[in-house]
Amino acid sequence: MVVLDEAFDLYLPGDDGQVVSGYDAIQLRPASVSLDYELELGQDGDLSGTAEVAFYMAESSDVLWDDASKLGEAREIDLSQRSQTLSGTLLLNAAQIDALVSGEFVVGARISGQGEGSAIVSYEFKKLILNVAFF
């Protein structure tokens, strides 16, 4: 349950993000990597206000929420909408590509803004696809 009264910060899936590991690391360093995403947000209460959603990727939870770990620009959302889907493509920076190549990294989303009301907020990542280019 989320209760809002003015400014707020919500970290998804939590303060430490989501560790991604256990895959075969890329042997060559890519020239560029982009992330295609689709995030579905929902709420069942009476929230009002506006917020920004920003996506983050880093080599560890210690630096996940730093500005340097942000993927692209934040997206604005209307908190009064019961359901909304955000989608797009985000380009990884050099440090994020290094984390990807290492074989383990942390991802998360941050929702912050001004709002009022209470609701149970739900979210689901419908799509997270890395597109890797070596040239």
For the stretch 36-55, pLDDT in tens is 999 999 999 889 999 999 99
Alpha carbon 46 to its chain's center = 24
SS3 101: helix
Q: Tell me what pLDDT residue 103 has.
A: 83
Spell out, as residue ranges, where the chain has pLDDT lower than 70: 1-3, 5, 22-27
First to last CA, the chain: 46
CATH of the domain at 113: 2.60.120
Q: Are 119 and 48 a contacting pair, CB within 8 Å?
A: no
Supply the pLDDT for residue 10.
74
8 Å CB contact between 47 and 118 = yes
Q: Which domain holds residue 10?
A: 2-133
Could you give the number of structural domains in the chain? Answer: 1
